[in-house]
Amino acid sequence: MTTLSAIQEKITGPLRNLKAWLLAAAVCTAGALVTLPVEAASHKLDNASCQDCHSGKKGKLEAKGTDGEKRELFVIENEKYGKGVHAKMECVACHTEIVDSKANHKIDPKAKKPDCATCHEDLWAKAKKDGKTKEKARMGTVVENIDAYQKSFHAKENQDDETKVNATCSQCHNTHTFDIPPKDSEARKEWRPSEPASCGKGCHEDQLEEFEGSIHGEKLIDEGEGKAATCSDCHTAHSVGNTSAVTFKQKVLESCGDCHDDAFKSYERTQHGKLATHKGASTVRCMDCHGSHGIFLVTKLKDPRKMVAQDNKMCISCHTSDKKYEKFAPLKVGGKEGEKVERPDLDEQHKWLPNTKLHWQSVRCIDCHTSAEPGLSHEILGEKKAERMCVTCHTKDSQLATRLYRHLADDEKQKYGFANSVILSNSYVIGATRHPLLDTLILAMAALTFIGVLGHGLIRYLGAKKRRNNAK
Amino acid sequence: MSERIYLLPLWLRLWHWTNAFLIITLTITGMSLHFAAPGRFLVEFSLAARIHDIAGIALACAYSFYFIMNIFTGNGLQYFPRSPVIAGCIKQAKFYMWGIFKGEPHPYAVTKEVKFNPLQALLYWIIMYMVLPVVIITGLIYFFPSVAPDKLFGMDGLLPVAFLHYASSAAIFLFLIGHIYLATTGDKPTTMIKMMLTGWHEHSKHH
């Protein structure tokens, strides 16, 4: 038995040890399993871990919104985020409400939601405190922009949904990529063509459509010409405000002048231009004739009659209304204090012009009231300097082809083979609408008839003379 | 010796000279308008436009008077071509092409009943009842452009009106040249013009 017990002892002895080892291993493993998640969770709130899900590579991400409805989450493209100004920041630096890394995160109810304005204002205050305003000048610009935004129409309460404002920072600025290049940089020129889409899509759709069809839109969007006007050139980026305010209109006028220098100078010399420089004066400015978003509105109309109706309506509405005219009239020279020049009677002024009303329906006021020199001038000529020579238009080489019909003339260039074919196909203008073949034919027939009767008369005369001589 | 017939009543002579004056006025002003160019015009454009308008209205009135009087007096019948039209016209044309140079008498003698030779009747009939009304009607449409179709063959509706006005006026002008010349083919170059002033037709006895 002793031998048997000894053998049994030999076998179970190590097994007892193994049990003890296994128990120890199990205890250790369990301990590790209990402690590990706590350790790992703190690591998983770094940007790489967030990207793991929020890059969109694992499919669509959805979360419950405040209203209990599911909403789709933004996809954060790591590459783009890396190029943005916030690239070096941790996601949770802004998303302070996120406290765990599991889907359907726990939300810290005390944490504030990401807020651009507060963060940037704090940063700028800190920069000022640290005396680093020069190094962090850009931060100052952002704060100025925030200030302008807060006073703008975009920051006002939305009329349809009172819980929202008209537009938030993130509707224009992609807060994750935040890649709007600074003004006057090369990158900014490349970025500009994308601006109209961010204003238009979802908000200003009609204006975008009109803009896309304009000369500015064609140059900017279709041809990628970075210099062409974009939304913020007139509306500003952050101080978007009341577009019917005179101050806004004056600012737009100056913006037009930044590029259209010659046109602006000739406009400045006109009575309209002089009035525009008066503070607060309401007068005819660029966009009143050229349109705002759909610049070259006149060209788009194509039909000269419509162009005439549109343009003349503007001129005539002021120049036939004492009330409107008085508003813009200059002070009378040598008159009483505050006495303004009286509105001249439009019919009386145009008395010399035959078929006055027909002219007003057929040609634009500016066709006579701007210089006949080549190149369309914006300088409106007054009564004394305006065109009075009928034959400027009523002739074969009619000025109308370079004025009212110039847009069509470019398109059609003598399509019918007639002189002034464009004018001919659109309206009849005495002296200008002439068919050279018909003219030649009629003149030749008249000449032949003359020669015929002269020849006939001569033969008759010679015959009669001969008969008289014979009779003698 | 010569014979005299009182051929042309006062109203007709008054109308004729009024018509003549207006047509000459309209021709000169019309040319000024149609062939207008800087520094080249018979009458300044805006003046020509006003005169043309006034003379045009006057011509329409004169024509209405002429038309009505033609009906009331029966004078209108004189213009209708008489048979044989073609043979008569050829005979008259042959005279103008040949006989006139040899001093032959006019093939158709003027009588109170038949004033015009066949060619003259046909031509006057065409001019007075076909061409001149076109000139007047198209001219009047210019006073009321809304009457004209807005668009015709893709062009402005006034264009065919303008074309007809121009072409028919040109026909009147050509007629005018021939008419003035043929007025000198009486016994003496002034005989017929005198007749148009006095109303008395004079012709040599051999007629």
- Average pLDDT for consecutive 10-residue bins of chain A (472 residues)? 48 52 54 44 70 80 76 79 82 85 81 82 90 87 90 89 86 78 82 89 89 90 89 89 84 88 84 72 79 75 81 86 81 78 88 85 86 70 84 79 68 52 65 84 96 95 90 82
Question: Does any domain span residue A449?
Answer: no
Q: Do B178 and A449 touch (CB under 8 A)?
A: yes
Give the pLDDT of residue A408: 67
Which residue among B36, B49, B96 places its CB closest to the CB of A395? B36
Identify whether residues A14 and A97 lie together within a single domain.
no
The answer to whether the beta carbons of residues A234 and A240 sit under 8 Å apart is no
Beta bridge partners of A64: A70
B contacts of A425 (beta carbons < 8 Å) = 154-156
Q: Do B46 and A352 touch (CB under 8 A)?
A: yes
**How many CB contacts within 8 angstroms connect chain A with chain B?**
90
Q: Which range, A12-21, B8-17, B38-47, B108-117, has the best average confidence (pLDDT)?
A: B8-17
DSSP string, A337-401: TTPBPPPPPHHHHTTTSTTHHHHHHHS-HHHHSS--SSS-------TTTS---GGGTSSTT-GGG
Residue B133 has pLDDT above 90, yes or no: yes
B contacts of A397 (beta carbons < 8 Å) = 37
- Structural domain harbouring A351: 304-334+342-434
d(CA B61, CA A359): 27
User: Quick one: which of A67, A56, A49 has its CA closest to A105?
Assistant: A49
Question: Does any domain span residue A375?
Answer: yes
Give the pLDDT of residue B23: 97
A contacts of B36 (beta carbons < 8 Å) = 390-391, 394-395, 430-431
Q: Do B154 and A355 touch (CB under 8 A)?
A: no
Give B111's DSSP letter. Answer: -
Select from A93, A112, A131 the last residue of a domain. Answer: A112
Give the pLDDT of residue A460: 92
Q: At residue A265, what are phi and psi to the nearest 5 degrees?
A: -65, -45
Give the pLDDT of residue A33: 46
Select from A112, A127, A151 the last residue of a domain. Answer: A112
A contacts of B41 (beta carbons < 8 Å) = 391
Identify whether residues A52 and A26 lie together within a single domain.
no
* Paired tokens of B158: 């006034």
Q: Do A467 and B36 touch (CB under 8 A)?
A: no
Question: Does any domain span residue A444?
Answer: no
Question: Does any domain span residue A70?
Answer: yes
Q: By a Cβ cutoff of 8 Å, what residues of chain A touch chain B?
A: 352-355, 358, 389-392, 394-397, 424-428, 430-431, 433-434, 438, 442, 445-446, 449-450, 453, 456-457, 459-460, 463-464, 467
Identify whether residues A96 and A11 lie together within a single domain.
no
Q: Would you call B137 exposed, middle or buried from its count of C-beta atoms within 10 A (0-12, 13-18, 19+)?
A: middle
Which residue among A426, A428, A431 places its CB closest to the CB of B36? A431
Nearest CA in chain B to A445: B174
Higher pLDDT, A325 or B25: B25
Average pLDDT for chain B: 89
pTM: 0.64
Give the pLDDT of residue A281: 67
Which residue among B44, B45, B178 places its CB closest to the CB of A453? B178
Place of tokens 């009669």: A464
Using a CB–CB cutoff of 8 Å, tell me whether B192 touches chain A.
Answer: no
Question: Percentage of residues in chain B with pLDDT exceeding 90?
Answer: 55
Q: Do B50 and A442 touch (CB under 8 A)?
A: no
Instruction: Report how many domains make up chain A.
Output: 3
B contacts of A430 (beta carbons < 8 Å) = 33-34, 36, 49, 162
DSSP string, A291-322: -SSSSSHHHHH--HHHHHHHHHHHHHHHHT-H
Beta bridge partners of A63: A71
A contacts of B34 (beta carbons < 8 Å) = 430-431, 434
Using a CB–CB cutoff of 8 Å, tell me whether B187 touches chain A.
Answer: no
Question: Does any domain span residue A382?
Answer: yes
Other Cβ atoms closer than 10 A to A228 = 20
Using a CB–CB cutoff of 8 Å, tell me whether B33 touches chain A.
Answer: yes
Give the pLDDT of residue A352: 87
Select the residue from A353, A433, A450 to test the B interface by mutation, using most B Cβ atoms within 10 A.
Answer: A433
Nearest CA in chain A to B162: A428
Nearest CA in chain B to A392: B38
Give the pLDDT of residue B207: 43
Nearest CA in chain A to B102: A463
Q: Do B178 and A392 touch (CB under 8 A)?
A: no
Identify whether residues A5 and A94 lie together within a single domain.
no
- A243, A248, A250, A255: CA torsion to nearest 10: -100
Q: Is A276 left (phi over 0), alpha (psi -120 to 50) or beta?
A: alpha
Identify whether residues A4 and A97 lie together within a single domain.
no
Q: Do B45 and A427 touch (CB under 8 A)?
A: no
Q: Is the dihedral of CA A429, A431, A436, A441 positive or negative?
A: positive
Side-chain-side CA neighbours of B130 within 13 Å: the count stands at 10
The answer to whether the beta carbons of residues A399 and A392 sit under 8 Å apart is yes
Side-chain-side CA neighbours of B65 within 13 Å: the count stands at 14
Query: Which of B:128-167 have CB within 8 Å of A?
Result: 145, 154-156, 158-159, 161-163, 166-167
A contacts of B154 (beta carbons < 8 Å) = 425
Which residue among A352, A391, A445 places its CB closest to the CB of B36? A391
How much is the ipTM here?
0.89
Identify whether residues A23 and A52 lie together within a single domain.
no
Give the pLDDT of residue A42: 46
A contacts of B155 (beta carbons < 8 Å) = 424-426
Using a CB–CB cutoff of 8 Å, tell me whether B21 touches chain A.
Answer: no
Strand stretches in A174-277, DSSP E:
none
